[in-house]
Structure 1
């Protein structure tokens, strides 16, 4: 059996029994409720949504990998390129990257005074 068109050789749609079940079930239930579903959706509905989500994420990762073939390494720019036509997803990527950098800077600022106090105590002890 060959791989479906648009997928790299060797990849197939694995059945739910062959891979981890319900990796995203908790988050998907909350998302489904947030978008108007019942508070506790059926396991079948969550399973279908999870299958769709995993297939989508896999496809995006394969596309990003194909873009990065010349470099041999996938980076954030490859995902931006793959999602360039979807303005909402592109904006969300930018927002998450900005927040990640903001958090990194805040952690760095929070750690500096602690490091300086430790160094000054070491100097006092000598």
Structure 2
């Protein structure tokens, strides 16, 4: 059955939580507690919009002989509205940038802790603008965490070998 025909069965039923829709309306200038009729109409509009975009994206994926949707399918579905397309691209770019920053942060964190060459930690701290005292405290915290992790592993071994 076509997705739009399936969506027709839910007409009159709420798709999104009413509180979310009223918060959305308030964010765009409506009163804090909108009328229930306004919330219902907005729910139908949003449901129809999401269903329509999803249907177009699915049709594009089917034409490309794919069963799974990709971001390109949604780009194709939003190609007629450059404002929506720009907002979606911006959100995806931000998400990619945040994930890269998280990976870089964790990677640099481990490098400072595990690098045991003489003056390597001090050089890394100086490059980052961190005092050596703070770095020493950080290394002490890392040693404590390693001890805690290792203590948990020993307890698990003891539990496995313990008689039932």
TM-score band (shorter)? 0.7 to 0.9
The corresponding residue for 1:34 is 27
Deviates more, 1:93-102 or 1:7-16: 7-16
Question: SS of the residue aligned with 2:32?
Answer: coil
2:76 corresponding residue in structure 1: 81
| CA distance in structure 2 between the partners assigned to 1:66 and 1:119 by the alignment | 52
Choose between structure 1 and 2: higher helix proportion. Answer: 2
Alpha-carbon distance in structure 2 between the residues aligned to 1:23 and 1:9: 17
TM-score (norm 2): 0.59
> Are residues 1:63 and 2:56 paired?
yes
Once residues 25 and 76 of structure 1 are traced to their aligned partners in structure 2, the CA distance between those partners, rounded to angstroms, is 28
Secondary structure at the counterpart of residue 11 of structure 1: helix
Give the deviation of 1:10 after TM superposition: 5.7
Distance 1:15 1:35, change over 3 A: same
The CA distance in 2 between the partners of 1:109 and 1:58, in whole Å, is 37
Q: 1:49 to 1:93 in 2, by over 3 A?
A: same
Q: State the Cα deviation string for residues 58-94 of structure 1 (Å, max 9, x = none).
A: 1111110010011222100010011111010011011
Match of 1:99 in 2: 94
Contact in 1 for aligned 2:4/2:52 (Cα 8 Å) = no
5+ residue gaps, structure 1, are none
SS in structure 2 at match of 1:68: helix
Give the CA RMSD over aligned residues.
2.8
Pick which of 43-52 and 85-94 moved more. Answer: 43-52
Aligned length: 115
